Structure 1
Amino acid sequence: MKRWLPAPLLSVTVFVVWLLLVASLEPAHVLLAAVLALVLPLVAQRLREDTAHARRPGVAARLIVVVLWDIVLSNIEVARRILGRESRMRPAFVWIPLDITNRHGISALAGIITMTPGTVSSELSPDQRHLLVHFLHLEDADAAIAHIKSRYEAPLREVFP
């Protein structure tokens, strides 16, 4: 029973909340609510098991502060750039070589880069060893790579070994 219903209370909650959201007791909605009530707790359990390998909560907390600070600074820089002359911007794509191999760490790195204004993660190479990043303005590719690797990738490697 535990295998099909790893969290019975969560299943009941999903079932009830779905029916409240759709405000209908039609058979199709009840069936969909039942499917969601069975599937979502199983997915949540799988995600918990996959992320149970994260380590170093202190490093993760410092990384969050660094990312939030960088987001504020990047917002100011992007505003300054887009309010200035367009001819002064130098957009570019750069492949960032990755040392991190944990898929959750790579996803977190791609998310951090995308959340930071002025940069967007665009593609992960098939071998998951390089991440393509678009920069709104790039003066020095090597400096940008070093910045991402030291400020984001290095702490993520400690959190997701």
Structure 2
Amino acid sequence: MSILSRAFARLLPMPLHSLFLLIVWLMLNSTTSLGHILLGTLLAIVIPVLCAPLRIPQPRIKRPFKVVSYVFLVLKDIVVANFEVAILVVGPMRRIKPGLVAVPIDLVDILPITVLVSTVTMTPGTVGADISKDKKWLYVHVLDMPDNEQEVIDLIKQRYESRVKEIFGC
């Protein structure tokens, strides 16, 4: 790495964040006057420089095209689950069986675990309730627990966790 590129990396440790901060600053002030551009540029440089030591290295997305298919899968599941929960709540009276399931997880890094928990929580009828301290178990609250809790475990592991592992190369 050359001296110039190291200096640039120190001045702008997060260039996209800096650009985003400048754009947001100008949009919030509804003006592009020279004073606002200069102040916004100063803030867009200073804030990321001050925040750079706080950054935690995150795992890289190894298969970005899998992210697109994962997003569509989750969106489809959210729509389907919304209808299922609506029918369950508004439909004919029947006994709802809520339950808590311990799902073993094979993910190690916090970002893939967060993606998995967020996916489970966004899908109506399930909520990621807790993660064990050793990050080996995800506790999921299920609105209507099937008779065999292994169905829920298999669904989460095969439908979501396996895809998250592919995306992050875990």
In structure 2, how many angstroms separate the alpha carbons of the residues matched to 1:106 and 1:95? 14
Deviation at 1:4, TM superposition (A): 4.4
With normalisation by structure 2, the TM-score equals 0.72
2:162 aligned with 1:154: yes
Q: Which residue of 2 aligns with 1:64?
A: 71
Change (3 A) 1:68 1:38: same
- The aligned length equals 151
Structure 2 residues not aligned, in runs of 5+: 1-6, 31-40
Deviation at 1:93, TM superposition (A): 1.1
Q: Which residue of 1 aligns with 2:145?
A: 138
With normalisation by structure 1, the TM-score equals 0.75
| Secondary structure of 1:121 counterpart | strand
Larger radius of gyration: 2
In structure 2, how many angstroms separate the alpha carbons of the residues matched to 1:9 and 1:81? 45
How big is the alpha-carbon RMSD for the aligned residues of Structure 1 and Structure 2?
3.1
In structure 2, how many angstroms separate the alpha carbons of the residues matched to 1:58 and 1:14? 27
Matched-pair contact (CA < 8 Å) for 1:93–1:132: yes
Deviation at 1:82, TM superposition (A): 0.9
State the AA in 2 paired with 1:100: L
From 117, 121, 142, give the equivalent of 1:114: 121
Q: Deviations over 1:106-148 (max 9, x none)?
A: 1100010011011111111100000111111111311011001
In structure 2, how many angstroms separate the alpha carbons of the residues matched to 1:144 and 1:9? 39
- Percent of aligned positions with the same letter in both sequences? 34
Deviation at 1:99, TM superposition (A): 1.3
Deviation at 1:16, TM superposition (A): 7.5
2:46 aligned with 1:38: yes
2:124 aligned with 1:126: no
Structure 1 residues not aligned, in runs of 5+: 24-32
Matched-pair contact (CA < 8 Å) for 1:10–1:37: no
